[in-house]
Amino acid sequence: MITAEAIQKSHSVHCPCCNAILNVVGRHEQTIPDDQEWLTDGDTVDGIWDALSDPQKVPSAFSYELMMGCCAICGQSHYAVTASFMNANYEQSGVESCLSFWGPYDGQRNYICYGTKPLTDTWLLMVFETSLGPMFHHTFGPFLLKAS
Ligand SMILES: [Zn+2]
Q: What is the pLDDT of residues 95-119, one digit of tens each?
A: 888 888 887 888 999 999 988 777 7
Query: Using one digit for the tens of pLDDT, what is the confidence trace for 40-94?
Result: 888 887 776 677 788 777 768 888 899 999 999 999 999 999 989 999 887 888 8
pLDDT at 54: 81
CB 106 within 8 A of CB 115: no
pLDDT at 59: 66
CA–centroid distance, residue 102 to ligand 1 (Å): 30
- Point out which residues pair with 33 in neighbouring strands: none
Quick one: what percent of the chain has pLDDT higher than 70? 95
CA–centroid distance, residue 145 to ligand 1 (Å): 11
Give how many domains the chain has, as a whole number.
1
Average pLDDT over residues 115-128: 85
The residue range of the domain holding 72 is 2-144
What residues have a C-beta under 5 A from ligand 1, the ion?
15, 17-18, 20, 71, 73-74
- Residue 48's contacts (CB-CB under 8 Å, 6 or more residues apart) are 62, 64
CA–centroid distance, residue 77 to ligand 1 (Å): 8
